[in-house]
Amino acid sequence: MTTTVEPERALARRLLPSTVPAVAVAAFVAGLLGGWGAASSAALAIVAVAGNLVATAASLTWASRISAAAVLMVGVGGYVLRIAIFATALWLLDGLAWFSPGAFVAAFVPATIALLAIELKLLGGRMQPDLWYFREAGR
């Protein structure tokens, strides 16, 4: 039996503990600049970035057990679905009196960029398909 490393899941496990301090920092800075609503909105943005990481890791791990084509479909389809969910959530949250879209976006964008930079550094330049393992057909 071959053991495999699931790089997406391993990456999520490695980065998720950073969520708590990131929420604290985002909430603190936004709270200083804009009060309780901004702090809550910024904290929610960091949680959304962490949720996106978990969703991406879970879906790509699942797809990598099937085929390279499934990885492509899940990667592209998942990206479009998560963008749609993000836009819908932002639209729905904007109706709440305490929600600050500016604080949310101001926390979400740099957190996403930082996450992508960390992912690139941790993968060390390896090509993602080289990290996946696909069972041979018929097994």
Please give the Cα distance from 98 to 95 (Å, whole number): 9
Q: What is the pLDDT of residue 20?
A: 95
Domain ranges of the chain: 7-131
pLDDT in tens, 69-99: 888 899 899 889 989 998 999 999 999 999 9
Q: What is the DSSP string of 78-117?
A: HHHHHHHHHHHHHHHHTTSTT--HHHHHHHHHHHHHHHHH
pLDDT in tens, 96-106: 999 999 999 99
Q: Tell me 99's DSSP state.
A: -
pTM of the shown model: 0.81
